[in-house]
């Protein structure tokens, strides 16, 4: 069987949320729409505007705008801050999504210069701000490419203070901000309060169809709406994405502490398992990097075999060195820590 066929045959998974058919997902959306709700049109209407206001309040910001993607939201936020400061230079960590996955859009589309801060192999710290004056700094919480690492609260405050010493504005890449809140045991608004603007995602940990919100001061968001139009992001109607985002935020935000607890329980279960490492250990959020030692091809085949035989998908998208990202969601809560250990012990046995 091919990997996708094996995945489809599995009834449980160690990672993310249960896979649902398109018809099931559409039925969820229909069930969540009130009888008196009507579609938005070009970003206007109670459905989208009420949701924007709700998320702005959650984040403790004056205003918010819903956009199709975080890529769009963050480029716009940084462009506005740089224009306002009169400094066309942005600083961020080498593992930032903007640097790795957006085809250098800030430089190509907005003609902004980029300054990389810190070392790709370790988290950003306050000591990394020896850069020239910047129009804006982007800080990601948690740092996904490093396993979801978060700084302790006092270190975070120092990090933001250091950024402010070099930059006109500090923007939060909060794609996984919802997942970070349990680590700090604080409302997301307390975290967002450290930053001038913040972007949050609705499809990553929350499992929505797609969509993002950019939140910040009213004048910043008003200008962001103009740039959204320039980017082609002010679509005629965004209601399917808004309804999905609204539903998943309501459904899963309160479950984040349970996801984090299960990720830590998984790490506890395999800590003494020879050939398997978890980073960070203990995990800071509901995600972590898992490394299995062995030949990449053998590990991939072993994981597919174990998934096919047990009916539990183990997430076999290995990177070089046997590394993969594990993100805990609703599906993960159906797998007990001792089962988790047994699955990966079996993979290691078969691959080595």
CA–CA gap between residue 257 and residue 276 (Å, rounded) = 25
Per-residue pLDDT at 36? 87
Instruction: Assess whether 14 and 79 both reside in one domain.
Output: no
CA quadruple 195, 197, 199, 200: dihedral positive or negative?
positive
Q: Minimal CA–CA distance to 351: which of 300, 303, 298, 314?
A: 298
The two three-digit tokens of residue 113, written as one number:
């210069």
Instruction: Assess whether 229 and 311 both reside in one domain.
Output: no
Instruction: Assess whether 194 and 334 both reside in one domain.
Output: no
Q: Minimal CA–CA distance to 295: which of 273, 265, 275, 325?
A: 275
CATH of the domain at 292: 3.90.1150.10
Within a domain: 246: no
CA–CA gap between residue 319 and residue 100 (Å, rounded) = 15
Per-residue pLDDT at 72? 98
Within a domain: 27: no
* The last residue of a domain, from among 179, 207, 236: 236
Residue 321 CB burial class (10 angstroms; 0-12, 13-18, ≥19): exposed
Instruction: Assess whether 160 and 261 both reside in one domain.
Output: no
Nearest-10 crossing angle of helices 256-270, 337-351: 50
Within a domain: 231: yes
Within a domain: 89: yes
Instruction: Assess whether 345 and 200 both reside in one domain.
Output: no
Within a domain: 346: yes
CA–CA gap between residue 29 and residue 244 (Å, rounded) = 6
Per-residue pLDDT at 2? 87
Query: SS3 breakdown of the chain: % helix, strand, coil, rounded to 5?
Result: 50, 15, 35
Give me the count of residues in the chain: 352
Containing structural domain, residue 334: 3-20+255-351
Per-residue pLDDT at 104? 94
Instruction: Assess whether 204 and 321 both reside in one domain.
Output: no
Instruction: Assess whether 87 and 129 both reside in one domain.
Output: yes
Report the first-to-last Cα separation within the chain, whole angstroms.
22
Within a domain: 127: yes
Instruction: Assess whether 209 and 271 both reside in one domain.
Output: no
Each of the 352 residues of the chain gets a pLDDT tens digit; together they read 888 899 999 999 999 999 889 999 999 999 989 888 999 999 999 999 999 999 999 999 999 999 999 999 999 999 999 999 999 999 999 999 999 999 999 999 999 999 999 999 999 999 999 878 999 999 999 999 999 999 999 999 999 999 999 999 999 999 999 999 999 999 999 999 999 999 999 999 999 999 999 999 999 999 999 999 999 999 999 999 999 999 999 999 999 999 999 999 999 999 999 999 999 999 999 999 999 999 999 999 999 999 999 999 998 788 888 899 999 999 999 999 999 999 999 999 999 9
CA–CA gap between residue 151 and residue 143 (Å, rounded) = 10
- CA angle in degrees (0–180, nearest 5) for 262-57-212: 65
The two three-digit tokens of residue 202, written as one number:
């609705």
What letter does residue 7 receive in the DSSP assignment?
A: H
Residue 97 CB burial class (10 angstroms; 0-12, 13-18, ≥19): middle
Label residue 311 left, alpha or beta by phi (over 0 means left) and psi (-120 to 50 means alpha): left
Instruction: Assess whether 211 and 344 both reside in one domain.
Output: no
Ordered DSSP codes for 92-140: E-TT-HHHHSSTTHHHHHH--EEEE-S-TTS---GGG-----BSEEEEE
* The last residue of a domain, from among 208, 236, 264: 236
Domain tally, the chain: 2
Instruction: Assess whether 207 and 264 both reside in one domain.
Output: no
* The last residue of a domain, from among 203, 236, 269: 236
Instruction: Assess whether 179 and 59 both reside in one domain.
Output: yes
Within a domain: 244: no
Within a domain: 28: no
Q: State the DSSP H helix or E strand holding residue 31, giving kind and residue range, or none if neither.
A: helix 22-32
CATH of the domain at 158: 3.40.640.10
Instruction: Assess whether 183 and 59 both reside in one domain.
Output: yes
């Amino acid at each position: 069987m091919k990997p996708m066929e094996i995945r489809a045959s599995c009834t449980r998974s160690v990672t993310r949320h249960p896979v649902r058919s398109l018809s099931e997902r559409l039925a969820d959306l229909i069930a969540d729409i009130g009888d008196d709700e009507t579609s938005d049109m070009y970003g206007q209407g109670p459905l989208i505007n009420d949701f924007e206001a709700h998320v702005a309040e959650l984040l403790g910001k004056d205003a918010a705008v819903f956009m199709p993607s975080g890529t769009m939201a963050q480029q716009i936020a940084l462009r506005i801050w740089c224009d306002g400061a009169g400094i066309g230079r942005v600083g961020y960590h080498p593992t930032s999504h903007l640097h790795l996955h957006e085809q250098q859009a800030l430089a190509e589309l907005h003609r902004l210069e980029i300054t990389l801060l810190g070392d790709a192999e370790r988290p950003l710290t306050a000591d990394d701000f020896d850069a020239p004056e910047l129009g804006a700094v982007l800080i990601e919480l948690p740092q996904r490419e490093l396993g979801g690492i978060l700084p302790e609260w006092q270190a975070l405050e120092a990090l933001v203070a250091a950024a402010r010493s070099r930059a006109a504005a500090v923007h939060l890449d909060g794609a996984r901000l919802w997942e970070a809140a349990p680590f700090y045991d604080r409302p997301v608004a307390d975290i967002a309060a450290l930053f001038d603007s913040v972007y949050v995602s609705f499809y990553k940990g929350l499992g929505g169809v797609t969509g993002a919100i950019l939140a910040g001061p009213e004048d910043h968001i008003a200008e962001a709406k103009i740039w959204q139009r320039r980017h082609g992001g002010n679509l005629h109607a965004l209601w399917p994405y808004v309804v999905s985002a609204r539903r998943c935020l309501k459904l899963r935000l309160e479950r984040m502490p349970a996801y984090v607890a299960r990720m830590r329980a998984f790490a506890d279960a395999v800590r003494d398992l020879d050939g398997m490492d978890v980073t960070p250990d203990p995990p800071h959020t509901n995600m972590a990097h898992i490394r299995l030692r062995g030949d990449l091809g053998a590990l991939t085949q072993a994981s597919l075999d174990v998934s096919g035989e047990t009916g539990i998908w183990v997430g076999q998208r290995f990177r070089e060195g046997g590394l993969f990202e594990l993100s805990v969601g609703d599906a993960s809560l159906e797998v007990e820590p001792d089962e988790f250990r047994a699955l990966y012990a079996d993979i290691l046995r078969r691959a080595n």
